[in-house]
Amino acid sequence: MKYFLTALLSLFCITATAEITLPSIIGDNMVLQQKTNVAIWGKADPGEKISVEGSWKGSQAASTVADKDGNWMVKIKTPPAGGAFKMTIWGNNTIELKNVMSGEVWFSGGQSNMDMPLLGYGKDQPVAGGTEEIAAANYPNIRLFNVLDPALGPNLKEPQFTCTGEWQQCSPETVGMFSAVAYVFGKEIHKYTNVPVGLIHSCIGGTYLETWMKPEVVENDPEFKKIISGFDEQKNNWLEKNPEFKDKPNAELPFQFQDFERTGRLYNGMIAPLIPFTIKGAIWYQGESNDGRGHQYQRLFPAMITSWREEWNQGDFPFYFVQLANFIEQKPTEEVKYEKPAAPKHHGWAELRNAQLMTLSVTNTGMAVTIDIGESNNIHPENKIDVGKRLSLWALAKEYGKKVPYSGPLYKSMVVEGNKIRISFNHVDGGLIAKGGKLEGFAIAAEDEKFAWADAVIDGNTVVVSNAGIKEPFAVRYAWEVYPLYNLYNGAGLPASPFRTDDWKLTSEGKSF
C-alpha cells in the first residue's frame, strides 16, 4: 500500500507539472539581434530549471530557475548575421524553435499612418506603388511580426505576458497586410546590409500617445495626470448626453472613449509583451490624435521614448519618427484648391510638428519630414513608400555607415540684420534649393507677434527673410500651418522641416486633453 501511494503521488506530480510556455514574440521564424546578448523568457513551474541553447557554432547553453511566480529569463549570445538556426528550450518539457535567423531587429509603432498596410485601407486601393511592392516581396530573410489589435479583448489594466501574433517569412502572400512604412524601411536596410531583418509591428489607428506609455509614467507626473481626468470627464459628459450608451459594451462607444484609449492600456497589451525582446531600434508614426495638444506633446513624446528605453534596458537605442504630413480637411465633394491666404494662418498641427522637431534634442533620435507628400482631404496619404525610405535614410546613415544625406534642412539659428533676419540651417547637403522658383511659406513678425508673409531668398547656405512693412523684425516661422506653403529643400531632395524662431505662447498651452 505504501508503494502504491508513493507511485500514485509521483504520477500526480508528473501530470500536474506545467509545461514551459513562451510569449508569442519568441517563436519559429523569428530574427534575433545579431552579435549581442538577447533575452529569452517565459513561464514554467516555480523552481523549475530551464535551459536554452542555439544550434549555431559556439552557442553555449544558458540556464536559470523559474522564480516563485514561474517567470524565468536567460541571456544568450547570438552569432553574426545568418541562419537558419534552431533554438532548444528545455525543462520539464522541451520546445524546439525552427528557422531562426540572426540579423537586425526593428520595432515599428504608432497609429493609422504607420499601421496602413501595403494593400491600403480600402478595397482594391493599395498604397501608391503597393501592388508592385507586394508582387516583388520575395524576401524570405525579412521576417514580419504583426501584433494583432487587442481592443475587443479584456480591459488591459495590467501588463500582459503575451500578445496575439506570429513571425512570418516575407512573401507576396504575407506582406500585403503588413505596415507599408515599416516594410519599406526594413527592405531598404535588408537590401543595403544583405542580412536578415526582423520587423515587429504594433499599431492601432486613432490612438493617443499616452495609451502607448507605461501607466506609471503618466500617473506619477502632475501635468500628465491631467490627461486621465480629462479623458474621464469628456467620456462622462458624453455619456450624460447619450444615456442610452451607459450600459453598452465598450466596442459600441465612440472610438475615442473606448477602454483601450485610457492611459497605458495599449502599452500593457501591445508593448509590454514584446519587452525585453532585443531590438536594434524603433520607428514611430503618430501624432494626429494628439492634435491641439502640441505644447503638452513637447514633454509627452520624449517621456515615452525615455520610458521605453528604460523598460527595454538596452541603452539609448535609435528612435526615428515621422513628422506629420500636410493635410487639410475638406468635404469629399469639394474640388481641391489651395489659395494663399492674405495673412499666415496657424493650426494645432503646426504646434504638434514643432513638438516633434523639438524631440530631436533627445539622444539618438531622427525625424522624417513629410509636409510634401501628404494629401488634401486624405488623412491617410497614399505615398507610404517615400515615408519608409526617408526613415531608412536615418538608420542607414547612423547605424549602418552608409554615406548618404538623411535629413532635410533643420533650423539652426537666426540673426537680425537691420530690417532682415538671416536663418541658418543644419543638413544643407548639396545646398539650399527653392523648388519651383520663389521661396514660399516664410512669415515674419515684429515683437507685436503679428506675422505677415515674408520675402525670402537663398543666400549660400542661409535664407534671408524680410517684409517691407516690418522695420524691426523679431521672429520667423516657416510652413506653420496644417497644409503649409513650402518649397525649401536641400540638394539631396529632402524638404526642410517647419520651424519657428520665437518662444511665444502657443495656443495649445494649458491643454491636457
Distance (Å, whole) CA 297 – CA 186: 28
DSSP 269: I
Distance (Å, whole) CA 392 – CA 320: 9
Percent of the chain whose pLDDT exceeds 90: 81
pLDDT at residue 2 above 50? no
Task: Tell me the three cell numbers of residue 91.
Answer: 525543462
pLDDT in tens, 80-97: 999 999 999 999 999 999
154-163, 300-309, 409-418, 487-496: segment of lowest average pLDDT: 154-163
Residue 403 burial by Cβ neighbours in a 10 Å radius (0-12, 13-18, 19+)? exposed
Distance (Å, whole) CA 147 – CA 168: 12
Q: Which residues face 198 on adjacent strands?
A: 105, 143
Angle between helices 294-312 and 348-358 (to 10 degrees): 40
Pairing of strands 281-285, 319-322: parallel
Per-residue pLDDT, 124: 67
Residue 262 banded pLDDT, cuts 50, 70, 90: confident
Distance (Å, whole) CA 407 – CA 368: 7
pLDDT at residue 14 above 50? no
The pLDDT mean for the chain works out to: 92
Distance (Å, whole) CA 511 – CA 513: 6
> Cis ω on the peptide bond leading into residue 276 (within 30° of 0)?
yes
**Mean per-residue pLDDT, 241-258:** 87
Residue 135 banded pLDDT, cuts 50, 70, 90: very high
**To 5 degrees, how large is the angle CA 62–CA 64–CA 65?**
160
pLDDT at residue 5 above 50? no
By three-state DSSP, how is residue 103 classified? strand
Per-residue pLDDT, 15: 44
